[in-house]
A = this chain, B = another copy of it.
């Protein structure tokens, strides 16, 4: 038996082409940069903007519920919320059930969301123009299927 087999190189090349994880992460990196740049004038990252938007719809909302709605780990969400609180865009208050924390938008948060929406729209338009209308629809549908598939695994 030789010390080291080489025949797995072609197999590794396949990984780069076919690995769902690698390719979806790569896409996420590329896309995130576009939205982060676009949202900079509002002092928001893409993640923060979508989180604020979710809060605006759901408020008052608990951390766990928000984590569920945004499909984010609860502890991750807690840390992301702390950042928004530090920016003065949300308030986090104890609920009736003292274990729960209820999240609310502040005035500054409302302003940031409003500013963010128009910036988001521009970024979204620029990207979807490149994808085409059909391409965008197909992509979003496929991503939804992917999340579903991942849940079932």
Q: Confirm or deny: A146 has a beta carbon within 8 angstroms of a beta carbon on chain B.
A: yes
Contact A21 B46 (CB under 8 A): yes
Q: Confirm or deny: A93 has a beta carbon within 8 angstroms of a beta carbon on chain B.
A: no
For A57, what are the chain B residues with a Cβ–Cβ distance below 8 Å? 9, 12-13
Chain A binding site: helix, strand, loop or mixed by DSSP? helix
Contact A27 B147 (CB under 8 A): yes
Q: Confirm or deny: A68 has a beta carbon within 8 angstroms of a beta carbon on chain B.
A: no
CA distance A33 to B11 in the complex (A): 23
For A33, what are the chain B residues with a Cβ–Cβ distance below 8 Å? 150
For A127, what are the chain B residues with a Cβ–Cβ distance below 8 Å? 20, 149-150, 153
Q: Confirm or deny: A86 has a beta carbon within 8 angstroms of a beta carbon on chain B.
A: no
Q: How far is the CB of A108 from chain B (nearest CB, A)?
A: 13
For A1, what are the chain B residues with a Cβ–Cβ distance below 8 Å? none
Chain A contact residue count (CB 8 A cutoff): 68
Contact A151 B19 (CB under 8 A): no
For A73, what are the chain B residues with a Cβ–Cβ distance below 8 Å? 29
For A32, what are the chain B residues with a Cβ–Cβ distance below 8 Å? 21, 25
For A106, what are the chain B residues with a Cβ–Cβ distance below 8 Å? none
Interface residues of A (CB under 8 A from B): 4, 6, 8-9, 11-13, 15-35, 46-47, 50, 53-54, 56-57, 70-73, 110, 113-114, 117, 120, 123-124, 126-128, 130-131, 135-136, 138-140, 142-153
